[in-house]
Amino acid sequence: MIRSGDTLLVATRNRGKTAEFRAAFAGLGVEVRDLNDAPEGIPDIVEDGATFADNALIKARIVAEATGLPALADDSGLCVDALGGAPGVYSARYAGEGATDADNNAKLLRELAAAGASAPAGAAAGAPGALSAARFVSALVLYVPGGETKTSEGDVGGYVIAAPQGDGGFGYDSLFWLPAYGRTMAELTTAEKNAVSHRGEALRRLLAQL
């Protein structure tokens, strides 16, 4: 499937995600690269799947078949109860194509304000200014040209808070409060985040299959 000395191409240009994957695969002796280091000729990837797993498969298959290398793709996002599960699969482009993390975070807070969202104080478990229960979801697909395809999923529950806290992480991490830690995802160390995050859980489930 994939073994020590292999090169694994992660289907992302997000160096934050790549760092998490590199740490996870370090013990297997696998070299992890991403699309910032990939050869030219990879087709544009249209993420038009209905689920996180659909989109992860689309990305992994296109990158693997274009390069001949095993490809790992993640599709993940934030599902907010008060917004009916939004932004969901549109998390990375919630504020439009090319949106920055700051753009997406700002839109999330605007939408929650418009919805009059406010999480019950008791349920929010100390989260400062909690607006809604939410969960991060991650789907991973490892696609090996001419070989097997492995899939896994993970999630983690918490609360969206009214103002960002923490300088680490990326995406919605600074707005996602974890009751078990009493901090946002952006305030965790890399080791703490990998231990508790949706992507960390999906990675552990994937690695168990290899």
Flag whether 2 is in a domain: no
pLDDT in tens, the chain (210 residues): 777 888 999 999 888 889 889 988 888 899 999 999 877 778 888 888 999 999 999 999 999 999 999 999 999 999 999 999 999 999 999 999 989 999 999 999 999 999 998 876 666 667 888 999 999 999 999 999 988 899 999 999 999 999 999 999 899 999 999 998 999 999 999 889 888 999 989 999 999 998
CATH number at residue 139: 3.90.950.10
- Per-residue pLDDT of 52-63, as tens digits, reads 999 999 999 999
- Per-residue pLDDT of 133-169, as tens digits, reads 999 999 999 999 988 899 999 999 999 999 999 999 8
Flag whether 47 is in a domain: yes
Q: How many domains does the chain have?
A: 1
Flag whether 146 is in a domain: yes
Ramachandran class of 24: left when φ > 0, alpha when ψ lies in -120 to 50, beta otherwise: alpha
Catalytic residues: 75
CA gap 33, 16 in Å, rounded: 12
Consult the annotation and say whether 44 binds a ligand: no
In this structure, are residues 74 and 55 in contact, taking their beta carbons and an 8 Å threshold?
A: no
Flag whether 121 is in a domain: yes
Consult the annotation and say whether 27 binds a ligand: no
Of 78, 29, 33, 49, nearest to 207 by C-alpha is 29
Whether this model's pTM surpasses 0.85: yes
Consult the annotation and say whether 17 binds a ligand: yes
Consult the annotation and say whether 129 binds a ligand: no
Flag whether 1 is in a domain: no
Q: Please calculate the CA angle 87-170-16 and round it to the nearest 5 degrees.
A: 120
Flag whether 95 is in a domain: yes
Flag whether 128 is in a domain: yes
What's the domain range around 16? 7-207
Consult the annotation and say whether 96 binds a ligand: no
